[in-house]
Structure 1
Amino acid sequence: MTNEPRTDIGTPTPDELREQVERTRDELGQTIEALAGKADIKAQAKERTAAVKEEAAEKTAAVADRIRGKTRHAAWLVKDRAPEPVVAEVGRVASVARAHREALLVAGAAVVVFLLVRRSRGYR
């Protein structure tokens, strides 16, 4: 075999064959990597766990924002319509809630995660 250009009948040259073999090797390598990625259950589980954590964090933040808004609204209603002893008691409860904010947020996050897990398993 020589490095001459194609013959009249269209037979590829050795250089063209080498290039074709190299392209085929590259494609085969990419295919193997893709198949290995699909077979890596541990990596897929980590990705799914990270996605669920992120979703839970987003939903927890949204729930916390809604709770804050409803709490402000309830406080406004109580101040306008409730007798002074009730207002004082609500103020005391609000102070305790502010003092234990982290515990309340953790409890809220736990409830959200529980509901997400329950929903993902098909319970209604």
Structure 2
Amino acid sequence: MRDQVERTRDELGRTVEALAAKTDIKAQAAEKAAAVKDRAAEKAALVSDQIREKAGDAAQLVKDKAPELLVERADRAATAARANRTPLLLAGAAVVVLLLVRRSRGRRR
């Protein structure tokens, strides 16, 4: 009889826990949000990999089709841009500021 009572208590405890889990909406929402976040991260990684692959393929195609002189000049320009990154960024920022100032003056009229 005691064994049966103990088994019944265990079953009742599990049943109560299951019912409590079903009524815990916050926990269910958090679980679903985590699952959606995981799926989104996986999909983003997959898409990112696909984009990198396509970009690499496109770059290789352009490199194969472009004349050698053009490829050499583009490489030199990229190397120079990397070496002079700060002045280029400052120049770009100045152009953006000038465009914004010009645009704001145009709206005032």
- For the criterion TM > 0.5, the same-fold answer is yes
Aligned residues: 76
TM-score normalized with structure 1 length: 0.53
Q: What does 1:25-104 align with in structure 2 at a 5 Å threshold?
A: 25-83=9-67, 84=70, 88=74
Superimposed CA distance per residue, residues 44-73 of structure 1 (whole angstroms, 9 cap, x where no aligned partner) = 100111111111111111111111111111
Identical amino acids, percent of aligned pairs: 62
Could you tell me which runs of 5 or more consecutive residues in structure 1 were left unpaired when the two chains were aligned.
Answer: 1-16, 97-124
After superposing on structure 2, the runs of 4+ consecutive aligned residues of structure 1 that deviate more than 3 Å are: none
Superimposed CA distance per residue, residues 73-121 of structure 1 (whole angstroms, 9 cap, x where no aligned partner) = 1001111213528x839x85xx89xxxxxxxxxxxxxxxxxxxxxxxxx
Q: Greater RCO between the two (CA within 8 Å, min separation 6)? A: 1
Counterparts of 1:67 and 1:88, CA distance in 2: 22
TM-score normalized with structure 2 length: 0.60
Counterparts of 1:19 and 1:66, CA distance in 2: 60
Could you tell me which runs of 5 or more consecutive residues in structure 2 were left unpaired when the two chains were aligned.
Answer: 83-109
